Chains A and B, each alone.
Chain A
Amino acid sequence: MSETFLAESIQPTAFAFSEENAKAAEAVVAKYPKGHQRSAVMPLLDLAQRQEGWLSRAAMDVVARMLGMPPIKVYEVATFYTMYNLRPVGRLHVQICTNISCWLRGAPEVVRAAKEVLGVEFGETRSDGAATLSEVECLGACANAPVMQVGDDLYEDLTYESTKAVLTALLAGEKPPVGSQTGRRGACPCCGATTLKDKAGDHVAKEPAKPKAKAAAKPGKETA
């Protein structure tokens, strides 16, 4: 059994969906045709993780029973995706991408800042339970590299300084603005447009079309 499963000591003996989540789970299962309830395994695992903060074996067994799946098939799914936390995480789950785009754009600096602020290494949780630091693969926001995900929020265009600022604020219970930390909108270029600079109507003014003259020139060429 993989390391994540071997942590028997931390496994709770039981799990149950809260009333609200049980309803939500029912709604998810109802989306799939009869006999294909297994398709709901990922959303249900996500619900369980949101409820408890992490995914215990008891929770996976409950999901397996709900969907009529062998437990091992649920474990396969849960261990395949790194987004499922098979160990408890802190209040803040700080995930930093170190893949190539982020790395080229300064991910090591982001990592350094995070380790300094949080005082933990990758894979560790602060003793006060405030935060867990994880190294993750691509978070799907390469245009805004380097990127860090905390909970459900992405913080983008990070530097050593901005990472420190964001994490310090988060630790203090504040809510720093999510998205790009350099102030750009979405994934727009950082220093103004580089393409499609023309405004609507520009082409008409600069280069008026002369379709008739062109059409008339062609037969003339042939005859010449």
Chain B
Amino acid sequence: MPKLTIDGLEVDVPAGTSVLQAAEQLGIEIPRFCYHDRLPVAANCRMCLVEIEKMPKPVASCAMPAGEGMVVKTQSPAALQARKDVMELLLINHPLDCPICDQGGECDLQDQAVAYGKDRGRYTEEKRAVVEKDMGPLIKTAMTRCIHCTRCVRFLTEIAGVPELGMVNRGEHAEITTYVGKALTSELSGNLVDLCPVGALTSAPYAYTARPWELKKTESIDVLDAVGCAIRIDARGNQVMRVLPRLNEDVNEEWLGDKSRHAIDGLAKRRLDTPFVRRNGRLEEASWNEAFAVIQDKLGGLPGSAVAAIAGDLADAESMFALKLLMDSLGSPHRDCRQDGAALDPAVSASYRFNTTIAGIEQADALLIVGSNPRIEAPVLNARIRKRFLKGGFAVAHIGVAADLTYPAQHLGDGVDTFQAVVDGAHPFFEVLKAAERPMIVLGMGALCRDDGARILGAARYLADKVGLVKDGWNGFNVLQTAAARVAGLDLGFVPGQGGLDTRGILAAARAGDIGAVWLLGADQIETNSLDQAFVVYQGHHGDVGAQVADVVLPGAAYTEKSGTYLNTEGRAQRAARAVFPPGEAREDWKILRAVSEVLGKPLPFDSLEALRALMAEGCASFAGIDKVVPGVWGDFGENGALNPALGPLGSAVSNYYMTDPISRASPTMARCTLEIGGNAKARTGTDG
């Protein structure tokens, strides 16, 4: 524990702390460009120079370990002069184009130039110019602005695990470049824009659209995968201009996947902004009252057993809860939130959650991934696995279609027979899991959405007992969900009631004519042609496949337009906030359901969102505290029985990272990414030549 003095204040810090970090503990901020607390130290910008007594020259504080008895001066004339000189050097080749630079207003160089820059330059020679690089459809480059901090190189190499950027040449000619002019293939590339302290890397879709000071900032959460990253939605007027990550150490640290960041232009496309009613085979615009009248007419005459509901992947807990109550009051037990038919057992809450928690991954010492590709299903969670891997002493194995996961995972095989061998103890990795102190298994939807999904779940449950996945203070059994709505749906019991049918049963019954009406709450990934004969109400925000088969379309709100609660794959309750209003006639979903219940003569027992939430929390402990994880209850689940290798290899539930839901499917940016980068990680790897 070295004790040192910084600006006259004494501080004790753990050995290995840098002088810069020690200063931060005292609340003394030292300017920096290249230093970032989540990246390896490079010490190449020299902006953090300080004076240390008994040292002949100014010292880069980010790379200098705190030593016993050091006397550091961060504000002495020598330190300030050193920083001014560094700033002058950095500005020699930096263009004076702040007025046309997208970084303007949130630029580290601009801010620090105010503090340390001179009002004019003494450099009269020619400035250098650097050729722009093609980094794909998400990142716009202006490489002449680059100050060579190498944050981008370090992020891609360390955090993202896709080493495709580097600094070539030296001195005056040094420049950051991509891997021979190819688009970056990382799902986390958007973070480079946040990390770049200058305007060299800026967001391409957002280019020249807004200035930071004219944006209204709303803190919310992301729902385009099941991780529930903390985000900030920046809106101007009623348009979402961009999404940035927010710090949440338990979930996303400060990273965000490219889809979550850039699919937002899909929020303005293909929107359902008015109710529609099918007349003579065509969907025609209608008023709310007309739409409700049709619903009253069709549903009123049906017995409860002929009505069913399916919830989609983006539904908020409140609307699922309201729809469940509505179905109850109509007397229908047919409802399901598993539109993909995943064999998740709603009776045991620990059976469908990521019980280890995302931050808990860092404590694990062995991991088996089955039927999942976390890199494309949950890139931020995958970065956490990589972070754990980099610390060393972490055995990772993967059963499923081979893919580059950004860390070297031992590929055991791609079929259920390999998994069976591990479960039976016949495979050597069984011993690895058994010997581990804190082993983990991650089951993906690629495994659970198969016909033998329930048996795979049962086999995993059996494995959990055999290798001790669950013990005191540790639960290593994890299911990686891909839908933001799923855990909340299961917790709320948006699953078949007594004698009820699941998604597959509902579709079959609709085909057979046994179910006459189906309510789709944003459910699009189902076999919609089964619904040809049934009366279909589609409540949602995008004109995707679900709306095309609908007889009545009720325009709902997207996640940026309503206050809604979501449980992420861990079971963490988080709340999305309204940043903008729903377009046109669209309304918040719980309100639509409340209004329908009134029309059907079975009013739901709440009139406000608060009352709804109180009622919801009463029946389900998961919603009692926001930002908290209520640990799942462990028990018996899954089916016994032989796995079926004939069903093919264990794939990933996500085939194209950039298009997984109605919002990203409507997004032009995501379409460009699919075209230029390719959404499938298994077809490309970071080291392919």
Interface, chain A (partner B; CB < 8 A) = 1-2, 5, 57, 61, 64-65, 70-73, 75-76, 79-80
Contacts and interface: CB of A to CB of B under 8 A. Distances in A.
B538 to A, nearest CB: 47
B655 to A, nearest CB: 26
Given A61-B689, A71-B687, A80 B169 contact: yes
Given A2-B169, A79-B169, A73 B163 contact: yes
Interface residues of B, number: 21
Interface in B479-522: none
Given A72-B164, A79-B168, A79-B169, 19 more contacts: A1-B133, A1-B177, A2-B173, A2-B175, A5-B180, A65-B687, A65-B689, A70-B164, A71-B179, A71-B180, A72-B165, A72-B179, A73-B163, A73-B166, A75-B166, A75-B177, A76-B167, A76-B168, A80-B169
A72 B178 CA distance: 8
B131 interface: yes
Interface in B138-173: 157, 163-170, 173
Interface string B207-237: 0000000000000000000000000000000
Contact of A80 (B157, B165, B170, B686): B170
14 contacts: A1-B131, A1-B180, A2-B168, A2-B177, A64-B689, A65-B689, A71-B180, A72-B164, A72-B178, A73-B163, A75-B168, A76-B166, A76-B167, A79-B170
A56 B133 CA distance: 21
B584 interface: no
A5 B168 contact: yes
Interface of B: 131, 133, 157, 163-170, 173, 175, 177-181, 686-687, 689
A70 B164 CA distance: 8
For the complex of A and B, the 5 pairs showing the least CB-CB separation, nearest first, are: A72-B166, A70-B163, A79-B168, A76-B166, A79-B169
A61 B179 CA distance: 11
A57 B180 contact: yes
A81 B370 CA distance: 45
Contacts of B180: 1, 5, 57, 71
A57 to B, nearest CB: 7
A99 B168 CA distance: 23
A31 to B, nearest CB: 24
Contact of B181 (A1, A65, A71, A73): A1
Nearest to B168: A79
A1 B689 CA distance: 17
A122 B610 CA distance: 78
A79 B177 CA distance: 12
Interface centre among A2, A57, A64 (most CB of B within 10 A): A2
Nearest to B179: A72
Nearest to A76: B166
Contacts of A73: 163, 166
A220 B413 CA distance: 96
A117 to B, nearest CB: 29
Contacts of B686: 70
Q: Most A CB atoms within 10 A — which of B133, B166, B179? A: B166
A175 B131 CA distance: 43
A71 B689 contact: yes
Nearest to A81: B170
Contacts of B133: 1
B129 to A, nearest CB: 12
Contact of A70 (B167, B170, B181, B687): B687
Contact of A72 (B131, B163, B169): B163
Contacts of A65: 687, 689
A57 B178 CA distance: 14
Nearest to B170: A80
Nearest to A70: B163
Contacts of B178: 1, 72
Nearest to A80: B170
B171 to A, nearest CB: 9
A78 B431 CA distance: 44
A55 B623 CA distance: 62
Nearest to B173: A2
A4 to B, nearest CB: 8
A72 B686 CA distance: 10
